[in-house]
Amino acid sequence: MSSNNEATLGFEDFKQEVLSDYKLACISREASLLGRKEVLTGKAKFGIFGDGKELAQLALAKNFKPGDFRSGYYRDQTWMMAIGALSVQAYFSGLYAHTDVAVEPQSAGRQMGGHFATRNLDEHGQWKNLTQQKNSSADISPTAGQMPRLLGLALASKVYRNNPALHTEEFQQFSIQGNEVAFGSIGDASTSEGPFWETLNAAGVLQVPMVMSVWDDGYGISVPRELQTTKNSISEALAGFQRTAENPGFEILTTKGWDYAHLCQTYEKAVNLARTEHVPVLVHVQEVNQPQGHSTSGSHERYKSTERMEWEKTHDCIAKFKEWILAFDKGPTALATIEELDQLSEQAKEEVKESKNKAWALFTEDIKQDSLSLEGILSGLIQEGTLSSSFQAELDALIKNREPQRKDVFSLARRALRSLRGAESTNKTVLSQWLSKKKEESHDRYSSYLYSESNKQIGNIPSIEPTYDTDAPMEDGRIILRENYRKLLEKYPNLLVFGEDAGKIGGVNQSLEGLQETFGDLRVFDTGIRECTIIGQGIGMAMRGLRPIAEIQYLDYLLYAIQILSDDLATVQYRTKGGQKAPLIISTRGHRLEGVWHSGSPMGMIINSLRGMHVCVPRNMTKAAGFYNTLMEADEPALVIEPLNGYRTKEKMPTNLGEFKLPLGQVEPLSEGSDLTLVSYGSTLNLCIQALPVLEELGISVELLDVQTLLPFDLSHDIVKSLQKTNRLLIVDEDVSAGATAYILEKILVEQGGYYHLDEAPQTLSAKDHRPAYGSDGDYFSKPSIDDIVEKVYEMMSKANPGAFPTL
């Protein structure tokens, strides 16, 4: 132990540090104990606490510097408190779900207690100086879900250290030459999850400054470690990862959760190594316990033996810490007497109680204000006789309620307004206006920041059309993409492109051909086959001011990453109420190639799981390039699905590569027509284009619309304008039935009111419900073909006018 070694610090400072650690351990423990009570007495809904993990986190926090990042989980309250990123009051405000970001800065009440985050953006959504604060990326609940992002947070330091182009003023707010460490934490049982292994392997390969702690308390809820981990020990299971003189890998350290001195020594060693040499380190903290059990959902007596329960008591880390302090030295260098320690623990209890009470008062005050303003309005209505006096009792109960919920206030107001149907009164108008205003506030409280609300949101990026020379050459789609990437890599020094086969060979479709040679393997690089952590790598780097474009080789393999996209990336802005962002762009390609696992188009699944991201489905590579160019100017995460059959298709080469920017959420009409509106996107859109002349020959006039992006969808409601002319609608895609077509139908018929303009039932044409079969015939019989499109349109016309279009 040297950071708090009396020789290094001087005895008095050393003593103060130890005693302040002791007090903070007591504060954190008391917060856990009171937190549980708050849940059990009904003041908060659910509780999961960090009791038993205090000492290890205090030791870790000593080495956590400004600029560093945490990616952890719900047990880390002591760590957050120790780095000054969480007050006890804010901790309780989180538990109560206080929706004011000034009071509950972690998630403004959106995440359950114990889910931590720092505010890394200012109120305008712009980056703060992250090197001057201690950072925590926002937690998520799925076990091991914090791991993929951790990889990117750590890799960012390596990128910043090794790329001199980033040692400029512009990037100083993100990194001081890569000196920052990314700290991860996980419970022993969650190491069973795939993302843990994928992340550790990648970190070992990449040699990034990561300090990964496993808090090993022997259980995952009730399931013991021997049913979770090979050899019943994560450090033993990972022994092959240990670096040697010849072979880089991990430094693996073990320590015990109750041994203060050894914990301090271990973390000092671990973090120095990671910071100076960029070596990943695993710290296996053994013999940790859980004094209150897993969470408020149940008691641990159900699955822990009496011996285990007894052991947990004798090995409680705070009790052990106390023993250590008392035994330190009995002479003039004694640290504290038992009375002094008890006094600290009493002070801790008092302080926590006070903070908890303040948090509760603020939480209830906020809702009380709403109750009182409603009381004013409803009393007026009751007095004038417009509102039944039976509402008085409910109103009284609301005002008296010492544990009010906002929904009770709303529900009463809405029931009152419903009961006033048909009545005329100024007070009724006041009530109605009050409710509208409160609904707006509720939108801000519970539904804002699904997407960026900064000046860099996609809607604010001015669009620029591609320009062409009169004799513009025709080039393969992949060349257009490649040359556009070249311009982007020149323009944005913080842009990185990576993925499987993306580096040396420039992508399986050659759209990055030669770019690694030009820009180096720090900017354009290969990764292992690990889709989930390719995304995590991107999320973490994007959270640290880099602009990653993560390549997923084929759309079919996005499924390996869909969990982390959905749970982590798509929720970053929302779950922090605009406190963090990760403007990661994901580039993939799909819809149509060969067979069961190279032709998927699971667009319904994607758009339904990725609200909070944008999803672009360009029909060609000029369109794709235009979307990348827009997204690079914006600060939002997005997925761009290039059409697989477009790499070798000729397109006109624009002159303003890297500059033209296409708007998202705008439909492009490709033909004018009066009989039927045909809506499609991506690869099937190109089939629709080919079907047009055939339909024309059959005497059918079709208006073909390319939706171009599914999220957002037709923001100016252009499709309904087309329906006003044609009164007929057919949607074509190659997802399964009721996949993306169901979403598109809802948008057009319900949101845009398109049903009103239809003369007959809207139709969809999608792929078969099975995965597509192999070969050209497999494709023809599994997916919509040009023949299918022509015949479907004809069938609709024939139904409407059998005379002109006799049955085929």
Chain residues binding ligand TPP by CB under 6 A are 75, 141-143, 187-190, 215, 217, 219-221, 294
Q: What is the DSSP letter of 772?
A: P
For ligand TPP, give the closer residue by CB, 294 or 661: 294
Report the distance separating Cα 563 and Cα 610, nearest Å: 10
Distance of CA 57 to the CA centre of its chain: 25
Please state the closest distance from residue 175 (CB atom) to ligand TPP, in A. 30
Encoded amino acid at 243, one letter: R
Which residue lies nearer to ligand TPP by CB, 143 or 494? 143
β partners of residue 588:
641
> Of 294 and 406, which has the nearer Cβ to ligand TPP?
294
- Report how far apart, in Å, the C-alpha atoms of 431 and of each of 386, 416, 434 are: 12, 9, 5
Measured from the CB atom, is 142 or 712 closer to ligand TPP?
142
CB of 137 or CB of 292, closer to ligand TPP: 292
Residues 495/681, Cβ–Cβ less than 8 Å: no
Shortest distance, position 609 Cβ to ligand TPP, whole Å = 15
Angle at 349 between CA 344 and CA 352, to 5 degrees: 120
CA distance 321 to 688: 72
Amino acid letter, 584: L
Do residues 689 and 697 make contact, with C-beta atoms less than 8 angstroms apart? Answer: no
Closest CB to ligand TPP among 230 and 357?
A: 230
Min dist. Cβ of residue 601 to ligand TPP (A): 27
Q: Provide the token pair at 138.
A: 């926002």
CA atoms within 13 A on the CB side of 640: 27
Q: How far is the CB of 280 from ligand TPP (least distance, A)?
A: 20
DSSP string, 303-369: TS-HHHHHHHHHT-HHHHHHHHHHHS-SSTT----HHHHHHHHHHHHHHHHHHHHHHHHHHHHHHHH
Q: Which is nearer to ligand TPP, 302 or 421 (CB)?
A: 302
Q: Which of 97, 106, 115 is nearest to 43 (CA)?
A: 97
Of residues 76 and 636, the one with the C-beta less far from ligand TPP:
76
Closer Cβ to ligand TPP, 73 or 554, answer by number? 73
Runs of H (alpha helix) within 214-337 = 234-237, 260-277, 306-314, 317-327
Please report how close the Cβ of residue 475 comes to ligand TPP at its closest, in angstroms.
46
Residue 414 C-alpha from the chain's centroid:
34
Which residue's beta carbon is nearest to the bound ligand TPP? Answer: 187
Q: Cβ(59)–Cβ(256) under 8 Å?
A: no
State which H helix or E strand residue 158 sits in: helix 147-162
The nearer residue to ligand TPP, 217 or 551, going by C-beta atoms, is 217
C-beta of 302: minimal distance to ligand TPP in Å?
15
Report the C-alpha gap between 755 and 762 in whole angstroms: 8
Please report, for residues 76, 437, 564, 762, the alpha-carbon distance to residue 69 in angstroms, rounded to integers and kept in the order given: 13, 39, 19, 52
DSSP string for 369-402: HHHHHHHHHHHHHHHTTSS-THHHHHHHHHHH-S
Q: Which is nearer to ligand TPP, 207 or 295 (CB)?
A: 295
DSSP letter assigned to residue 464? B
- What one-character DSSP code corresponds to residue 676? E
Q: Which of 660, 724, 732, 659 is nearest to 689 (CA)?
A: 732
Shortest distance, position 584 Cβ to ligand TPP, whole Å: 22
CB of 527 to ligand TPP, least distance (A): 24
> Minimum distance from CB of 288 to ligand TPP (Å)?
8
Q: Output 696-702 pairs: Cβ under 8 A, ≥24 positions apart.
A: 698/790, 698/794, 698/805, 699/804, 699/805, 700/673, 700/675, 700/676, 700/793, 700/794, 700/797, 700/805, 701/673, 701/674, 701/675, 701/676, 702/671, 702/673, 702/675, 702/676, 702/677, 702/678, 702/793
Minimum Å gap between C-beta 307 and ligand TPP is 19
**For the chain, what percentages of helix, strand and coil (3-state, to nearest 5) are there?**
50, 10, 40
**To the nearest whole angstrom, how small is the minimum distance from the Cβ of residue 45 to ligand TPP?**
16
Residue 95 or 765: the one with the smaller Cβ distance to ligand TPP is 95
Q: Cβ of residue 187: shortest distance to ligand TPP, in angstroms?
A: 2
State which residue, 195 or 637, has the beta carbon closest to ligand TPP. 195
Q: Tell me which residue of 522, 459, 533 sits closest to 495, measured CA to CA.
A: 522
The letter for the amino acid at 394 is: E
* Residue 284 is a catalytic residue: no
Nearest C-alpha neighbor of 497 from the set 437, 609, 586: 586
Which one of the listed residues 167, 262, 598, 717 is annotated catalytic?
598
Are the C-beta atoms of 252 and 242 separated by less than 8 Å?
A: yes
CB of 142 to ligand TPP, least distance (A): 4
Q: Please, are residues 147 and 184 in contact by the beta-carbon 8 Å criterion?
A: yes
Q: Cα separation of 375 and 367, whole Å?
A: 12
The two beta strands, 474-476 and 650-652, are antiparallel
- The full DSSP string for 527-538 is --S-HHHHHHHH
Q: Looking at the annotation, which residues are catalytic?
A: 598
